[in-house]
């Protein structure tokens, strides 16, 4: 059992706390300045606190606050070399963090699916302790990357859920427009995205081969695929991912200039 603290229990921090509570393997201290945010997770963790000093007592300290306040909070934590700081802030570099803490620094770009144990997480760090990986694997899949790839990972898997929600809603709305009940359309669309993602993770075939497997000769899917292939959807999705990546880079510059 590892003692973990989560500082900042907003959207991302609370998803992490909820994900860790599913197995209940670890002692989790939730810390936030907002009593309502703590109230929302109080039954899912070992203890809650508004006090940074209490949160600093954990073996692994997750900093899940906004990028612009991450550096000052990390400094205030005053962690020791025996501890690990996992920073989730988009755009806040290891150099900025290491200048403010004695702890081992790991950067993590998680996503909201940590809540259900389905996080896609990208991590980077010179020393990534087995305990850190074990804790993260309780809430999803972790992929190690170089720190200079963090901005694109932020766009792909950090921001990614928002892009998927948007696309999923477009499929749902098309179903609703053609007469499906909204709730049923949502279930059908969401389960389809979930099932398709599961297939990609489990199947050795490429996505092109999988598309071909759905397209029966002279069937329905090929008609839809023709529309997609003649459109600029692929370019638009790429532009969305690149815009998020560029913003992550800008955040890094803003933070390092502070």
Ligand X SMILES: NC(=O)C1=CN([C@@H]2O[C@H](COP(=O)(O)OP(=O)(O)OC[C@H]3O[C@@H](n4cnc5c(N)ncnc54)[C@H](OP(=O)(O)O)[C@@H]3O)[C@@H](O)[C@H]2O)C=CC1
- 88-to-1, 67, 146, 184 alpha-carbon distances in Å: 22, 8, 15, 35
Under the binding rule (CB under 6 A), the answer on residue 30 touching ligand A1CAB is no
Q: Is 11 annotated as belonging to a binding site? A: yes
| Residues 6 or more apart whose Cβ sits within 8 Å of residue 106 | 84, 85, 86, 87, 123, 124, 125, 128, 132
Classify burial at 111, counting beta carbons within 10 Å of its beta carbon; exposed 0-12, middle 13-18, buried 19 or more.
Answer: buried
Q: How far is the CB of 76 from ligand A1CAB (least distance, A)?
A: 22
Question: How many residues contact ligand A1CAB, by CB under 6 A?
Answer: 4
Q: Is 10 annotated as belonging to a binding site? A: yes
Instruction: Map the footprint of ligand A1CAB across residues 182-241, applying CB under 6 A.
Output: none
Alpha-carbon span 115 to 17, nearest angstrom: 7
Under the binding rule (CB under 6 A), the answer on residue 48 touching ligand A1CAB is no
Classify burial at 160, counting beta carbons within 10 Å of its beta carbon; exposed 0-12, middle 13-18, buried 19 or more.
Answer: buried
Q: Which of 61, 89, 96, 97 binds ligand X (CB under 6 A)?
A: 89
Q: Is 19 annotated as belonging to a binding site? A: no
From residue 151 to residue 170, the character string flagging contacts with ligand A1CAB as x (rule: CB under 6 A) and all else as - is ---x---xx-----------
Instruction: Map the footprint of ligand X across residues 57-86, applying CB under 6 A.
Output: 64-67, 69, 73
| Residues 6 or more apart whose Cβ sits within 8 Å of residue 8 | 31, 32, 63, 64, 65, 66
Q: How far is the CB of 40 from ligand X (least distance, A)?
A: 10
Instruction: Map the footprint of ligand X across residues 199-258, applying CB under 6 A.
Output: none
Alpha-carbon span 41 to 46, nearest angstrom: 10
Q: How far is the CB of 214 from ligand A1CAB (least distance, A)?
A: 30
Question: Three-state SS for 143?
Answer: strand
Residue 212: phi and psi, rounded to 5, are: -60, -35
Using CB under 6 A, list all residues that contact ligand A1CAB. Answer: 90, 154, 158-159
| Known binding-site residue numbers for NADP(+) | 7-12
| Known binding-site residue numbers | 7-12
Using CB under 6 A, list all residues that contact ligand X. Answer: 7-13, 31-34, 37, 64-67, 69, 73, 88-90, 109-112, 158
């Amino acid at each position: 059992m590892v003692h973990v603290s989560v500082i900042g229990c907003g959207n991302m921090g609370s998803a992490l706390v909820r994900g860790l509570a599913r197995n209940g393997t670890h002692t989790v201290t939730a810390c936030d300045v907002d009593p309502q945010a703590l109230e929302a997770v109080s039954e899912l963790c070992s203890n809650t606190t508004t006090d940074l000093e209490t949160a600093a007592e954990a073996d692994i300290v997750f900093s899940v606050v906004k990028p612009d306040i991450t550096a000052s909070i990390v400094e205030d934590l005053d962690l020791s070399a025996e501890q690990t700081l996992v920073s989730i802030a988009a755009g806040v570099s290891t150099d900025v963090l290491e200048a403010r803490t004695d702890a081992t620094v790991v950067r993590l770009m998680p996503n909201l699916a940590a809540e259900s144990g389905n996080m896609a997480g990208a991590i980077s760090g010179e020393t990534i302790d087995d305990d850190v990986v074990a804790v993260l694997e309780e809430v999803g899949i972790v992929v190690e990357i170089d720190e200079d790839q963090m901005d694109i990972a932020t766009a792909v898997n950090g921001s990614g859920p928002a892009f998927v929600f948007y696309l999923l809603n477009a499929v749902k709305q098309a179903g609703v427009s053609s007469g499906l009940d909204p709730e049923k359309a949502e279930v059908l669309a969401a389960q389809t995205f979930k099932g398709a993602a599961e297939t990609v993770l489990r199947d050795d075939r490429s996505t092109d081969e999988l598309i071909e497997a759905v397209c029966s000769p002279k069937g329905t899917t090929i008609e839809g695929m023709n529309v997609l292939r003649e459109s600029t959807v692929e370019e638009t999705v790429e532009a969305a991912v690149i815009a998020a990546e560029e913003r992550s880079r800008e955040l890094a510059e803003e933070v390092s200039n502070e």
